[in-house]
Amino acid sequence: MEIKEINALYEQCRTYRRFRQTPLDHDFLVSLVETAHRRSSGRNGQPWHYYLVETPETVAALQPYMHWAAALPKEIGTPKPGEQPVSYLIMAQEKNANPFCYVDAGIAFDTIAFLAISKGIGTALLAAINRAKIAEILKVPDNQEVTFAIGLGYPAHKSTIVPVGTDGNLDYYVDEKRDYYVPKKSLKEVLVLK
């Protein structure tokens, strides 16, 4: 694949918060976890466990415990029934995980998100979740702690990167179609050439 094509895929690799209700291929979802799990891990500790939730009943049971789009009013940012993710990957860390484990999680999430968008599937990494409730629903063992949820589904909206306005506000916003616009700082602001 050309670097241009890879960059174009990364451009689409955004946070999606509304999804078409088409089911996702089970084997593909399993392959996402397999690839993510085989990536780098601090001290090779491999403390992350992935709970793949696909049955409509369990997906529905989890929906109330996800908190969406802190920058937007709830009625705009929270997916409504018929827009919610069709599957979730819940990431739980072993309680004795080493301090690098969040880097491992970032690498794993990026792997999942990039492979997913290469098949047109959108993701949302969610940290604002009710960890205790999710652990209870999924019967997560006591030696693990639910930390992140990844919502998955074919996107039902667009999301576009825009420059940061003169007021410096980094909050994402939506238009009348609830398509997203995500301000990103300029390269000049973040890249230091020495």
Ligand X SMILES: Cc1cc2nc3c(=O)[nH]c(=O)nc-3n(C[C@H](O)[C@H](O)[C@H](O)COP(=O)(O)O)c2cc1C
CB of 16 to ligand X, least distance (A): 8
CB of 100 to ligand X, least distance (A): 15
Q: Which amino acid is at 178?
A: R
Is the CB of 25 or the CB of 175 nearer to ligand X? 175
Q: How many whole angstroms separate alpha carbon 58 and alpha carbon 192?
A: 47
Residues contacting residue 135 through CB under 8 Å, at least 6 positions apart: 92, 144, 145, 146
Is the CB of 66 or the CB of 138 nearer to ligand X? 66
DSSP state of 39: S
Q: How many whole angstroms separate alpha carbon 106 and alpha carbon 36?
A: 10
DSSP state of 156: S
- Which residues contact ligand X by CB under 6 A? 14-15, 17, 67-69, 124-128, 159, 172, 182
CB of 26 to ligand X, least distance (A): 25
Alpha helix ranges (H) inside the chain = 3-12, 26-37, 56-62, 74-77, 101-118, 131-138, 187-190
Q: How many whole angstroms separate alpha carbon 32 and alpha carbon 108?
A: 9
CB of 77 to ligand X, least distance (A): 7
Is the CB of 51 or the CB of 180 nearer to ligand X? 180
C-beta of residue 93 within 8 angstroms of C-beta of residue 47: yes
Is the CB of 111 or the CB of 159 nearer to ligand X? 159
Is the CB of 51 or the CB of 68 nearer to ligand X? 68
CB of 15 to ligand X, least distance (A): 4
CB of 66 to ligand X, least distance (A): 7
Is the CB of 57 or the CB of 64 nearer to ligand X? 64
Strand 144-153 relative to strand 173-174, pairing: unpaired
